[in-house]
Structure 1
Amino acid sequence: MWRHEDELQSMLRDSVDRYAVANDTLVRFRDKRGSADGFDTQSWRDMAALGWTGALLPEEAGGAGLDFLPVLSLAEAIGRNLIPEPFVASAIIAATVLGASNAPAARKLARALVAGEDVIALADQEDIAAIEPAAPHTALQPLDSGGFALTGSKIFVPAWTSETRLLVSATLEGDPVVIAVDARAPGVAAETHRMTDGTICAHLTFDKAALDSDALILRGDDATDAIRLALARGTIALAAQLEGAARRLLSMTGNYLNQRAQFEKPLASFQSVRHGLVSQHLQIELAGASWRSAAASLQQGLTGEAAMRISAAKARCADAAQGMSKAAIHYHGAFGFTEEADIGLYANAILRWASWLGNADAHRGRALNLSREQQPTCN
């Protein structure tokens, strides 16, 4: 096997599997996708008690201080078991930003995240087509009375609830900054949208939202670097979730085809069916190898090479998962289109994860451009 895991990674993966069995996560996913929040706050606290929400955060903030690679085993298993809570948005992306700051406000939010008391989301995107972090138009203005006023807008903010704590990118006197914002603060308005997996995202408008001076948690290159690393990690984690979901769909489809018969033979025994499943299996294996390669490259720093591998991995994992979704629905026949079929839950989640932080086409283009930059020029 090309896939090698150490004892910690196996333990983390097993903890997700045990949690999924004990909490019947598919039933819960189906139940929560129409709820006001799209996930369950008590389950978020349960995940915190297992150490998942603070896995990346430093020990001084109450976290586990784990390296990124083991945490990806959690992401893959969460995708495989279809757990709706915002692990990538909060425990990876937001946690990476918080881990880069020593500001008291960041430490307070980090402790709340470790305890599962808060869901925290990065509000960074302003351009609908952007997959690269860009200088924000959202502006932070100092007030004569002290503190700041925040003006601007953000789109597709994930993990949205009325209780969500925000990490908002902005500019302050020409410098990029990250500032902590309470979603309930005066001057913050949200337009919510339900995504295909049932979770809620929001388009936010900040109309001179008043913030205390201690809400500023990162400034300058520290803010830029933290956001770039957070989005890179989030993209790899989404790729891992996509592989996990695709692998479970493959297993579910194989089991179904072994149960269904035609001409007194299981459907899985027919050569054309078996060839189709083998083709899907190969694509999923390649997808798994791609995000692991990207993660290993990121461990050496967020270089152009790492960025290229990350985009290539997201594109490959999205294609593999969406291809497996189509195949699963095809092989299940008419039943695959029904509301009762669990494969539909996976297909809808895969649609969401495949497009979040950039779809396959966008990342293929980015990977191609980055690969050209890596090639030596000839004089």
Structure 2
Amino acid sequence: MEKLLKTEEEIMLADMARGFLDEAAPVARLRRMRDEGRTHDPELWKQMAEMGWAGVLVPEEAGGSDMGHTAAGVIAEEMGKTLTASPFIGTAVIAATALRRVADDRAKAALARIASGEAIYALAIDEGAKFDPDGVRMEARREGNGFRLSGTKKFVVDGGNADRLLVLARTGEGLTLFDLPADRDGITRAPRPMIDSRDAADVHLENVEATGEDVLGAVEDAMAVLRPALRAGQAALAAEMAGLAAGAFGMTVDYLKERKQFGVPIGAFQALQHRAAHLWCETEVTASAILHAGRMLDHDPDNAALAVSLAKARATSTAILAVQEGVQMHGGIGMTDEYDMGFYMKRARVAAEWLGDYGHHAKIVAQKRGFEG
């Protein structure tokens, strides 16, 4: 496949994002947040909203910048390089994409709140150890003209600080997606400590009342709204992981140039050069896959499944390789808290699982290519 390159506008967006994030959200900021016991930075999110990032997929008539999925990936990639902690993927990408699919007055009002930075959404799907939307068992029991929801959602990213929840539940023979305020009676949230120092929670719903107005899309047709939103989130997460790999690679190369052994930089050793060159090749191929996924989501979203799963699978393997090589080439100090490489490794491990792990997406790629039934 021919290598895809960013357009001039995308390069300018990346440069602008990098300049802002290097100053406003370096890895040192994440370290401070962790040491202070904080998982959310409302001031940083406000700044991102002012720059138009919260509304990257929100139509202009709703106050958004409507830059598209490729642009969202460009921003996410730069966030990955500095390990920026924000609700960007869950809110600006996943929730915004879902709400755009509905496009009624209520959804448009919600999109406007996302673009302004007022609303933070969390996606409440997972109930077990693995990503499995089709296997949801939480019941939304019909009651009059509404529903009663009971059950527990696990690993809800941004679940501790979100003010709205997208909850997937089973109604009869199908699945229905609900857009609920996080403080509705019957909803309790238990913060879940994560190794990447990000916000996540287990969300328990006990006989929670939901009306027809809380349904996003149609009853028992959740995937018409949710599946495109998940693909958008998976592509943006893949872009973040590609940025993470690039950040870890850059840190490793700098160390190879500085660290001396026998009077010469260790980067002069051929074995380490070969490993660094292999990692660079992997990051370049993955970057091309990320751009392709964004282009497909922008121009042919109904046929984007293969491109998105290929991007997420490649980004996962590349990010894991980058952090493993980074730790090994740093030697023993790579495992110490003093060095930032450990933060990259921890984030890579969590991101690898969120929205489907390597095996989940590799299976989709195989099926789309006709290698598996």
TM-score (norm 1): 0.90
CA 1:127–1:367 in 2, change beyond 3 Å: closer, same or farther? farther
Give the equivalent residue in structure 2 for 1:285: 284
Give the equivalent residue in structure 2 for 1:270: 269
Give the equivalent residue in structure 1 for 2:151: 152
- Structure 1 residues 110-259: aligned runs within 5 Å: 110-131=111-132, 133-134=133-134, 136-144=136-144, 147-172=146-171, 176-220=175-219, 223-259=222-258
- Residue aligned with 2:367, SS: helix
| CA deviations over 1:292-312 (Å, ceiling 9, x no partner) | 233334432333xx3233222
| CA deviations over 1:61-91 (Å, ceiling 9, x no partner) | 2111222112211111111121111211211
Aligned with residue 332 of structure 2, among 315, 319, 334: 334
Aligned with residue 369 of structure 1, among 363, 367, 370: 367
| Aligned residue pair count | 371
| CA deviations over 1:138-197 (Å, ceiling 9, x no partner) | 3434544x6543223322211122543111123456554322212221111223312221
| CA positional deviation for 1:105 | 3.5
Q: Which range is displaced more, 203-212 or 320-329?
A: 203-212
- Residue aligned with 2:134, SS: coil
| CA positional deviation for 1:11 | 2.9
- Structure 1 residues 301-320: aligned runs within 5 Å: 301-303=301-303, 306-320=304-318
- Residue aligned with 1:128, SS: coil
- Residue aligned with 2:185, SS: coil
Task: Write the letter of the residue equivalent to 1:195.
Answer: M
Contact 1:243 / 1:284 at 8 angstroms: preserved in 2?
yes
Give the equivalent residue in structure 1 for 2:10: 9
CA 1:155–1:114 in 2, change beyond 3 Å: closer, same or farther? same
Percentage identity across paired residues of the two chains: 28
Contact 1:8 / 1:70 at 8 angstroms: preserved in 2?
no
Give the equivalent residue in structure 2 for 1:351: 349
RMSD: 2.4
Separation in structure 2 between the aligned mates of residue 13 and residue 47 of structure 1, nearest angstrom: 14
Separation in structure 2 between the aligned mates of residue 130 and residue 82 of structure 1, nearest angstrom: 23
Separation in structure 2 between the aligned mates of residue 282 and residue 162 of structure 1, nearest angstrom: 38
Separation in structure 1 between the aligned mates of residue 300 and residue 212 of structure 2, nearest angstrom: 35
Contact 1:98 / 1:107 at 8 angstroms: preserved in 2?
yes
Separation in structure 2 between the aligned mates of residue 165 and residue 325 of structure 1, nearest angstrom: 34
CA 1:373–1:273 in 2, change beyond 3 Å: closer, same or farther? closer
Task: Write the letter of the residue equivalent to 1:321.
Answer: A
Unpaired runs of 5+ residues, structure 2, are none
Give the equivalent residue in structure 2 for 1:109: 110
Task: Write the letter of the residue equivalent to 1:359.
Answer: D
- Residue aligned with 2:244, SS: helix
Q: Which range is displaced more, 263-272 or 203-212?
A: 203-212
Unpaired runs of 5+ residues, structure 1, are none
| CA positional deviation for 1:274 | 1.0
Separation in structure 1 between the aligned mates of residue 308 and residue 72 of structure 2, nearest angstrom: 16
| CA deviations over 1:93-136 (Å, ceiling 9, x no partner) | 111111122344423322221111221112223343344x3164
CA 1:276–1:136 in 2, change beyond 3 Å: closer, same or farther? closer
Contact 2:5 / 2:288 at 8 angstroms: preserved in 1?
no
Contact 1:54 / 1:62 at 8 angstroms: preserved in 2?
yes
- Structure 1 residues 23-38: aligned runs within 5 Å: 23-33=24-34, 37-38=38-39
Separation in structure 2 between the aligned mates of residue 210 and residue 45 of structure 1, nearest angstrom: 31
| CA positional deviation for 1:56 | 0.3
CA 1:231–1:328 in 2, change beyond 3 Å: closer, same or farther? same
Separation in structure 2 between the aligned mates of residue 123 and residue 243 of structure 1, nearest angstrom: 25
Task: Write the letter of the residue equivalent to 1:73.
Answer: V
TM-score (norm 2): 0.91
| CA positional deviation for 1:250 | 1.2
Separation in structure 1 between the aligned mates of residue 228 and residue 200 of structure 2, nearest angstrom: 22
Task: Write the letter of the residue equivalent to 1:5.
Answer: K
- Residue aligned with 1:357, SS: coil
| CA positional deviation for 1:221 | 7.5
In the alignment, structure 1 residue 324 sits paired with structure 2 residue 325:
no
- Residue aligned with 1:107, SS: helix
Separation in structure 2 between the aligned mates of residue 373 and residue 279 of structure 1, nearest angstrom: 27
CA 1:147–1:37 in 2, change beyond 3 Å: closer, same or farther? farther
Task: Write the letter of the residue equivalent to 2:343.
Answer: L
Contact 2:4 / 2:292 at 8 angstroms: preserved in 1?
no
- Residue aligned with 1:203, SS: strand
| CA positional deviation for 1:321 | 1.0
CA 1:271–1:373 in 2, change beyond 3 Å: closer, same or farther? closer
In the alignment, structure 1 residue 300 sits paired with structure 2 residue 336:
no
